[in-house]
Amino acid sequence: MTDKLVFEGTCWKFGDNIPTDLITPTHIMWKTPREMAKHVLETANPDFPLKVQPGDILVAGRNFGCSSGRALAAKALKATGIGAIVAELFARTFYRNGHEIGLPLLEVGGVDDLVETGDRVRVDITRGIVENLTSGKSIQGNPPSDFLLEMLQAGGLIPLLKSGSKYFEAVTLK
Amino acid sequence: MNVIEKILAKASGNKEVRPGDVVVANVDLMVMHDLSSNFVMKVFENEMENAKIADPSRIAFVFDHNFAPATQQAAEALAAVRKFAAKHGIRHVFDSGQGSVHHVIVESGLWKPGQVIIGCDSHTPIYGALGVFATGVGNNSMAALGFQHSLGWFRVPETIQVYFHGAMGPAVTPRDISQYVVGRLGEDGAVYQAIEYAGPYIQGLAVEDRMLFPLMSIDVGAKCGYMNPDEKTIAFAQAHSAAKDFEMPMNDPGVAYKQVLDIDVSRIGPQVACPPTVGNVRPIEEAVGIPIDIAEVGGSTGGRIEDIRMLARAFEGRKVHPEVRLQVVPVSRGTYSTALREGLFQILHDAGANIFPPSAGSNQAFNMGAMAEDDVMLSTQARNFPGRNGHPKSRHYLASTLTVAASAITGRITDPRG
C-alpha cells in the first residue's frame, strides 16, 4: 500500500446488492483467504477470480457486501491483490470489516455511470476522488473518516492497536 | 440522548455522545456461532502475538449452523473451537443442538438491559428489543478489541424512527409487518443508522414479537434497532435476564430523529420477499400460485414457539402437499420441549412434516436445506440471496409462518387469508 492511498488499475464492474454469499459462498468458507481468492465472486463473474490482476479496481453499485457480516468476504477480496473497491454505497459490515483488515474502500455516488469494466481508473482514498483515466472524467465521493483513514494507513485494526492511536488513549489497553 | 446514545456514552465513559462520534466502549457480551467462533479463534491464534483473553465470562459460543456436523471438515472446525474454549476458560459454549444463536442467548439470561452486546453475526441487533445496544462486528474487531480488551469501537449512529399505528388484519403477523418495513425502506435504506421502532402497534406487541424488528434491521443495512423500553421490556428482563439489578435505559424526552417514517399497519397484508434479495418484498398477491418444493418454518425469524403453534393449528386435520417437503426447526431446546408438551410435533408429524433439531435450520445450507438448480423454497428464514442455499439459480421466497403453512398444504404460494 502506498502512503498516499492512491491506487491505479483496471476496472471490474459489479451491480447492486452483491451479498457476501456471492463473494465467498459457504462451500469455500473453510479455505484460506489465498485459496478463497481463486473463487471469489465467481458466480457473479467467472472471469474475475481467474483474470483479476494485483492493483485492479473493483467498482460496485449500492449495498456492496450485504447479507452475512462474514469478514472472510473482505479478506478473500484483499487476497486477490486488488488495489481498492469503489462502490455507490457499502453495506455497513463490509465497510467496517474492510477497514479493519486494511482494504481501501471508497464510497462514491455516481461511480456506476463513470466507469466501465476495462477502463483505467485512479482512486484517491484520502481526497475521496475517483478518476476514469480512459474517459478523463472524475467524481468526488465521501472519503473515510479520520479514524478509518488512520486504521487504513496502519494496515488495519490489529496493527493500529500495536502502533497506538489517540482514539484508544482514553482506555487502558492491557 | 436516545437509548443507543445513552448506552454508548456510559460504556465509553463520556457524559454525552453525538451521531458521527467515534467511541471506544466497554463490551459486556460477545456472541459467536459455530462458524464465526472458528474464524475469530483463527485471528486470535494466528494474527496476534501473546494475546490473552481479558474476560472469558463475557464470551459465548453457540453452535447453530451445525446441529450435528455432516462433514469431517465441519467436525474439525467445531472440535477446534471446543479446544480453544477449554484452553481459555470460555465456559459459555452452547454446543450443537442447543438452537439458533440469539434465541439461545436470550433464554440463557447472559444479557442485561443497558449492556453493549457485539456479535460476529449480522443479526446481533435482535437484543435491541431488550434495552440493549447490540450490533454485528468483524472477526478482527472481536479478536483484537473484544477478546483482548473487552472493548469495541463504534461510530455513534444517526437514528431513524419508524412509527407504527393501526391493527393487523386477519392472517397478518408481525413477520409480515417487519418484512414490509424492509421493502418500504429498501435494503440499503438505513445503512450505518439506528432504527427506533415505536408507536401503539409496537407497544401492543409481546417482547418475543418485537424482537423480529431489530433482528431484521440488518436487512435495511442498519447498525442496530431498538424499542424505547417500557413495562413489558422490564417484565421480560425480570423474567429472563440472570441479572436482577439492572437499570433500564430510556429515551430522554423530545429526542430528535434524522427521519420519521409513519406506517399504518392496518393497510398491510401478507408479504413475500421474492428472489433474488431480501429487499424484493411484494404483497402476496404478486407471488400467489408459484409451485414450491420445500417449505420451512425455522430460523431466527421463524422457529419460535409462537410459529410452531400457528403451524400446528393450520395442520390440524390436514396433510402436507405430496410434492412438498415441510421442515420444522425450533429455535431452542426450550421451544422444542414446549412443542412436545403441547402435542404440536405429533400433529405436524402426522401431517407429514419433518421435525429437525434446534438450530439455524436451512440458513446457509450447512446441515440441511441445500437446493438444486430448479428447487423453490418458501420459508420463514431471514435471507434468500443467490448462492446462500446451494445452486445460485434456485429460488427462495421468504414469508410468515401462516403463509408457509397455507402454501405447504396447497403446494403453491397461497394467501393465508383464504
Contact flag A171-B383 (C-beta cutoff 8 Å): no
Q: Closest-CA residue in chain A for B76?
A: A30
Q: Closest-CA residue in chain B for A64?
A: B188
What is the grid cell recorded at B168?
393487523
The per-residue pLDDT for A172 is 55
Among residues B43, B226, B73, B207, the alpha carbon closest in space to that of B137 is found at B43
Substitution target in A39, A171, A172 with the highest count of B β-carbons within 10 Å is A171
Number of helices followed by number of strands (H, E) in chain A: 8, 7
Cα A127 from chain centroid (whole Å): 16
CB within 8 Å of chain B, chain A residues 4-63: 17, 19, 21-22, 25-26, 29-30, 43, 62-63
Residues of B in contact with A158 (CB under 8 A): 43, 47-48, 140, 144
Domain boundary assignment for chain B:
3-263, 271-410
**Domain B271-410 class, CATH top level:** alpha beta
Query: pLDDT tens digits for A19-52?
Result: 999 999 888 888 999 999 999 999 999 999 999 9
CB proximity A92 to B under 8 Å: yes
Substitution target in A99, A100, A166, A173 with the highest count of B β-carbons within 10 Å is A100
Question: CA of B386, closest CA in chain A: separation in Å?
Answer: 7
CB proximity A96 to B under 8 Å: yes
* Sequence-separated (6 or more) residues with CB below 8 Å from residue A11: A56, A57, A58, A59, A115, A116, A117, A118, A119, A120, A121, A132
Q: Look over chain A and give the mean of its residue pLDDT values, rounded to a whole number.
A: 93
What CA–CA distance (Å, rounded) separates B324 from A57?
A: 45
The per-residue pLDDT for B76 is 96
* Sequence-separated (6 or more) residues with CB below 8 Å from residue B245: none
CB atoms under 10 Å from CB of B55, counted, come to 14
If 0-12 CB within 10 Å is exposed, 13-18 middle and 19+ buried, where does residue B363 land? buried
SS3 state at B11: helix
Contact flag B137-A43 (C-beta cutoff 8 Å): no
- Identify the sign of the CA torsion A49, A51, A56, A57: negative
CB atoms under 10 Å from CB of A107, counted, come to 19
- Identify the sign of the CA torsion B168, B171, B175, B179: negative
Does the complex come out with an ipTM higher than 0.85? yes
Contact flag A17-B188 (C-beta cutoff 8 Å): yes
Contact flag B77-A30 (C-beta cutoff 8 Å): yes
Residues A128-142, mean pLDDT to the nearest whole number: 97
Residues of B in contact with A145 (CB under 8 A): 22, 155
What CA–CA distance (Å, rounded) separates B271 from B180?
A: 6
Q: Is the pLDDT of residue A2 over 90?
A: no
Query: pLDDT under 50 in chain B at which residues?
Result: none
Q: Bridge-partner residues for A139, per DSSP?
A: A130
Task: With residue B396 as reference, give the H or E element that holds it.
Answer: strand B395-398
SS3 state at A59: strand
Contact flag B387-A43 (C-beta cutoff 8 Å): yes
B271-410 shares the fold of B3-263: yes
CB within 8 Å of chain B, chain A residues 141-170: 145, 147, 156-158, 161, 167-168, 170
DSSP sequence for B21-37? -EEEEE--EEEEEHHHH
Cβ pairs bridging A and B (under 8 Å): 131
Contact flag A167-B223 (C-beta cutoff 8 Å): no
The per-residue pLDDT for A174 is 44
Residues of B in contact with A161 (CB under 8 A): 144-145, 148
What CA–CA distance (Å, rounded) separates B25 from B2?
A: 17
Contact yes or no for A97/A71 (Cβ under 8 A): yes
Query: pLDDT tens digits for B114-128?
Result: 999 999 999 999 999
B192 closest CB neighbour out of A21, A26, A92:
A92
If 0-12 CB within 10 Å is exposed, 13-18 middle and 19+ buried, where does residue B334 land? middle
Query: pLDDT tens digits for A53-78?
Result: 999 999 999 999 999 888 999 999 99
Strand ranges for B172-283 from DSSP E: 194-198, 224-226, 259-264, 271-273, 281-283
Name the pLDDT band for A173 (thresholds 50, 70, 90): low
The per-residue pLDDT for B52 is 96
Specify the amino acid at residue A54.
P
Q: Is the pLDDT of residue A170 over 70?
A: no
The per-residue pLDDT for A1 is 46
Which CATH number, 2.60.40.680, 3.40.50.1820, 3.20.19.10, 3.30.470.20, labels domain A6-168?
A: 3.20.19.10
Contact flag A93-B144 (C-beta cutoff 8 Å): no
If 0-12 CB within 10 Å is exposed, 13-18 middle and 19+ buried, where does residue A142 land? exposed
CB atoms under 10 Å from CB of B317, counted, come to 7
Contact flag B191-A96 (C-beta cutoff 8 Å): no
Query: pLDDT tens digits for B10-43?
Result: 999 999 999 999 999 999 999 999 999 999 999 9
The per-residue pLDDT for B337 is 98
Q: Closest-CA residue in chain B for A74?
A: B138
What CA–CA distance (Å, rounded) separates B342 from B306?
A: 12
* Sequence-separated (6 or more) residues with CB below 8 Å from residue B274: B280, B281, B282, B286, B287, B384, B397
Stated pTM of the model = 0.96
The per-residue pLDDT for A171 is 63
Residue whose C-alpha cell reads 477480496 in the numeric block: A77
Contact yes or no for B362/B298 (Cβ under 8 A): yes
Among residues A2, A6, A11, the alpha carbon closest in space to that of A120 is found at A11
What CA–CA distance (Å, rounded) separates B243 from B286?
A: 47
Edge-first strand listing for the sheet containing B281-283: B281-283, B271-273, B395-398, B376-379, B294-297, B325-328, B354-355
The per-residue pLDDT for A27 is 85
Among residues B106, B26, B10, the alpha carbon closest in space to that of B62 is found at B106
Superfamily of domain covering B3-263: Aconitase, domain 3 (3.30.499.10)
Contact flag B141-A93 (C-beta cutoff 8 Å): no
B386 closest CB neighbour out of A22, A173, A174:
A22
Alpha carbon dihedral B59, B63, B69, B71, in 10-degree steps, equals: -60
Q: Closest-CA residue in chain B for A98?
A: B138
Contact flag B221-A91 (C-beta cutoff 8 Å): yes
Beta-strand relationship, B22-26 and B151-155 = antiparallel
Question: CA of B32, closest CA in chain A: separation in Å?
Answer: 11
What CA–CA distance (Å, rounded) separates A80 from A55?
A: 9
